[in-house]
Structure 1
């Protein structure tokens, strides 16, 4: 079993099952404090866990991306101070060089040298360093290394060395890489202008914290705030990368890994560079080798200890005990002054241990109830896909200031991230004394009311009473997303799953909410349209756009007979069909379909929503695919689309939105 698959949850579930089966759950329930409940858990046999170590050195001949992955995997599992580590860095640098990743190549060369690269192979490594510096346009540095290492280089390379000298003397102008790195762009993007002077933890001066019996602590506007205004820029009090992203993102800054450095002592953590390695190691030293245990304990728990059922409270206590055991018996967390010593401090007394457990129960409750998802935008492989970009949750963090905002299924703000820094803008005009609302996950434009209410009740233990959950007009609008038109009364109804949660089948009886049972023909047409759409997508995947066009055109025609105009399924079909048209060069036909898609998305999400913005980017791409004669006729359309994209994304993400979204128009 690898560490990445390790989970404590089955252990917690099994112990909880034993507690119920032995009728000891009643004893646990009657205890009136967290401390007493922890002592109850500790009175039983100590919780034990087994850790299996998986070491697998991958060292193969380079095959581009596959080789990079294997060399990185080898670095991850190599024992500390193993002589293979510098060789792996050296070999990975060679793959980077062949793929023109010269910056990454140079970094890996320096790492290999720092880790004592074998002397018999040094000439090859320094030759690669000289060539890499030369390719980067750093001719002077290349020349200096060449002069200092001339004797080291093998005689078989004399001709190449001579050519290098000639090229350097003539100062050959090479194509230079762009020195404006992503981090520089993000630094510029992060230089956001707020109402107060800037610092790392900041709330706009246009906001104020209020407290009352109904809303609790919350945030209101202290003046009129126009849409697009920056409201928060806040670094997390604490944050952690989700386990499924350990191998792909930096443990410190959460950046996507390009040329990672693994932890020397465990197989869980990667860093994007030396700076993050230095910063992150200060905290990682406490969790090193046990991170998979710590994360598996926390991420499966529910929130609100005092409102949780006894079985869940019992799991909270067990989780806290496991965490406390790791911290006190396996780390120097309680004695950082002795962090450099090899010996683990002596076991703490029971009273101190229970106190630590109590604090952990409290913080776990805070984490699950107040944690904020850190997301990154991921682009689709094609610019004419229904969802051109999607947000992936990569980490969880605590933002104390932002956590003061109450929930609404129709929030007045939007979040974006510069690494782990949370940046919040208003997405609507806010009047003085209006409350500022965030969305805790269930959004009125993405989920229907019943689904949202269930999710909020399960995790946060409250019933939402925002406008989206109480306005019947919005409920009717929600129905149109999956709505069908009743042929008898013309009202909007829905085809939904059965009450037991199982999908409906061709034998399902469906009915109109207004006038009663719908004709079976409606359900038959529904299945026909879905099957045609699936066949069309399959044809697209198989590289048969003309065949896909036939299936999708039929699916659209059948769907139009039963669905309301703004039904999301029709948009899926239109989007797929537009892709068929683009592949076949039928750009005008594609634009007509995408124009309908934009209007449907605007109906659901709003005319200035980011969803409309991404759809407009797709529309602009198709405009720019056209030949010069066609594009000339659409020049006004192109400029208008660019203007609209600029306005939407500036409102939602600020003037540096291109750096954040990685969209350049």
Structure 2
């Protein structure tokens, strides 16, 4: 994958000039992982060392300079130019070894985009429904079912609910500029190793997207079918877990909800699959046409899933 590595290295240079130093280092590491030409490696390690030094990661910067000096022997250049690079690198190494680290770097301060924070619930968490604020209470009656009410005055700007989704999917029109895993806008996208349909904001997000290894070979089929975002969400509920995860719940799926929080004091756990499975589906209000459409989509999604390796393994749910 030398061409891929060269593209990443070239992009790292652009990111350097754009002062996107965090993404620049990520691109350098990815390029080095994918067989970047050995005669050019010294350039990447020098760039990485300068960035790490500026980001005050001095130990890593020193190690990068050492690697640059090592790979300089493979560089194809005139002797005078090689000596010039060697002298510069050795100067920096001497500064690190003697503790004389330069603090006033010529490059402006780099910016590392922080991870988005989940806001704190105003007034603290509800005891039975931790995803809700104490300012909200949940009640139930036979006519209205379960519903939420204000337990106290709610001011403009109060945060009354935050919850990590059990499953989530990216809108198809955002595939070209948002990460498939965390949904962040991608400044330096990382591709899937097997398809060109999706992208990720980092190698870490790509590694954590186990669902895409299942969806990858059939993604064009799924998107081409015109299936709704709700169908994609249902499909993701399956692909984000191995078959063994659902087999473990097989006997419990035919039982009544053992953790119904409607009329008892049990704490609602949104990460519990059985809580999701037993959500009210209002089947009594659906039309025959709606049921028929859903049955057709279920058959289609199962057929599509059979075209993958999903049913070939019963790997651990972890």
TM-score of the aligned structures, taking structure 2 as reference length: 0.66
2:135 matches 1:206: yes
What are the within-5 Å matches in structure 2 for residues 534-553 of structure 1?
none
Kindly tell me: are residues 114 and 146 of structure 1, through their superposed partners in 2, closer, same or farther at Cα, counting changes over 3 Å?
A: same
Deviation of the 1:101 alpha carbon: 2.4
Deviation of the 1:151 alpha carbon: 3.9
**Aligned match of 1:242 in 171, 182, 203?**
171
Counterpart-to-counterpart distance in 2, 1:256 and 1:223: 37
Deviation of the 1:331 alpha carbon: 3.2
Q: Give the aligned partner of residue 24 of structure 1.
A: none
2:196 matches 1:267: yes
CA-to-aligned-CA distance 1:522-555 (integer Å, 9 cap, x gap): xxxxxxxxxxxxxxxxxxxxxxxxxxxxxxxxxx
Counterpart-to-counterpart distance in 1, 2:129 and 2:6: 40
Counterpart-to-counterpart distance in 2, 1:225 and 1:319: 41
Deviation of the 1:199 alpha carbon: 12
Kindly tell me: are residues 320 and 239 of structure 1, through their superposed partners in 2, closer, same or farther at Cα, counting changes over 3 Å?
A: same
Counterpart-to-counterpart distance in 2, 1:271 and 1:200: 33
Counterpart-to-counterpart distance in 1, 2:308 and 2:180: 21
2:102 matches 1:124: no
Counterpart-to-counterpart distance in 1, 2:129 and 2:209: 18
Counterpart-to-counterpart distance in 1, 2:64 and 2:50: 10
Deviation of the 1:309 alpha carbon: 6.5
SS in 2 for 1:182: coil
Native 8 Å contact 1:86 1:113 kept in 2: yes
Counterpart-to-counterpart distance in 2, 1:151 and 1:226: 62
Q: Give the aligned partner of residue 104 of structure 2.
A: 173
Deviation of the 1:162 alpha carbon: 2.8
Deviation of the 1:242 alpha carbon: 0.6
CA-to-aligned-CA distance 1:178-233 (integer Å, 9 cap, x gap): 566321xx33x534454227999611233222233443321112334444332111
Kindly tell me: are residues 241 and 218 of structure 1, through their superposed partners in 2, closer, same or farther at Cα, counting changes over 3 Å?
A: same
Kindly tell me: are residues 96 and 214 of structure 1, through their superposed partners in 2, closer, same or farther at Cα, counting changes over 3 Å?
A: same
Native 8 Å contact 1:123 1:152 kept in 2: yes
Deviation of the 1:236 alpha carbon: 1.0
CA-to-aligned-CA distance 1:6-62 (integer Å, 9 cap, x gap): xxxxxxxxxxxxxxxxxxxxxxxxxxxxxxxxxxxxxxxxxxxxxxxxxxxxxxxxx
SS in 2 for 1:290: helix
Native 8 Å contact 2:21 2:111 kept in 1: no
SS in 2 for 1:330: coil
Q: Give the aligned partner of residue 326 of structure 1.
A: 304
Kindly tell me: are residues 336 and 263 of structure 1, through their superposed partners in 2, closer, same or farther at Cα, counting changes over 3 Å?
A: farther
2:227 matches 1:291: no
CA-to-aligned-CA distance 1:577-622 (integer Å, 9 cap, x gap): xxxxxxxxxxxxxxxxxxxxxxxxxxxxxxxxxxxxxxxxxxxxxx
Deviation of the 1:333 alpha carbon: 4.9
Structure 2 residue runs without a partner (length 5+) = 232-280
SS in 1 for 2:162: strand
Q: Give the aligned partner of residue 112 of structure 1.
A: 31
CA-to-aligned-CA distance 1:278-298 (integer Å, 9 cap, x gap): 3222x2222122234335543
Kindly tell me: are residues 298 and 213 of structure 1, through their superposed partners in 2, closer, same or farther at Cα, counting changes over 3 Å?
A: farther
Counterpart-to-counterpart distance in 2, 1:284 and 1:212: 42
SS in 2 for 1:230: coil
SS in 1 for 2:71: coil
Deviation of the 1:239 alpha carbon: 0.9
Deviation of the 1:235 alpha carbon: 1.0
Native 8 Å contact 2:43 2:68 kept in 1: no
CA-to-aligned-CA distance 1:366-419 (integer Å, 9 cap, x gap): xxxxxxxxxxxxxxxxxxxxxxxxxxxxxxxxxxxxxxxxxxxxxxxxxxxxxx
Q: What RMSD in Å do the two structures reach over aligned CA positions?
A: 3.5
Native 8 Å contact 1:133 1:142 kept in 2: yes
CA-to-aligned-CA distance 1:232-271 (integer Å, 9 cap, x gap): 1111122100111112111111101012221112222222
SS in 2 for 1:293: helix
Deviation of the 1:301 alpha carbon: 7.9
What are the within-5 Å matches in structure 2 for residues 617-628 of structure 1?
none
2:152 matches 1:223: yes
CA-to-aligned-CA distance 1:495-521 (integer Å, 9 cap, x gap): xxxxxxxxxxxxxxxxxxxxxxxxxxx
Native 8 Å contact 1:89 1:111 kept in 2: yes
Native 8 Å contact 1:204 1:230 kept in 2: yes
2:83 matches 1:158: yes
Native 8 Å contact 1:261 1:272 kept in 2: yes
Q: Give the aligned partner of residue 634 of structure 1.
A: none
Q: Give the aligned partner of residue 280 of structure 1.
A: 209
Structure 1 residue runs without a partner (length 5+) = 1-81, 340-665
Aligned residues: 253
Counterpart-to-counterpart distance in 1, 2:22 and 2:129: 30
Q: Give the aligned partner of residue 277 of structure 2.
A: none
Counterpart-to-counterpart distance in 2, 1:255 and 1:220: 33
CA-to-aligned-CA distance 1:67-112 (integer Å, 9 cap, x gap): xxxxxxxxxxxxxxx4432222222222222333222111111011
What are the within-5 Å matches in structure 2 for residues 122-521 of structure 1?
122-153=41-72, 154=75, 155=79, 156-163=81-88, 165-166=90-91, 168=95, 169=100, 171-174=102-105, 175=107, 177=109, 181-183=113-115, 186-187=116-117, 190-196=119-125, 202-281=131-210, 283-295=211-223, 296-299=225-228, 307-308=286-287, 310=289, 313-333=291-311, 335-337=313-315
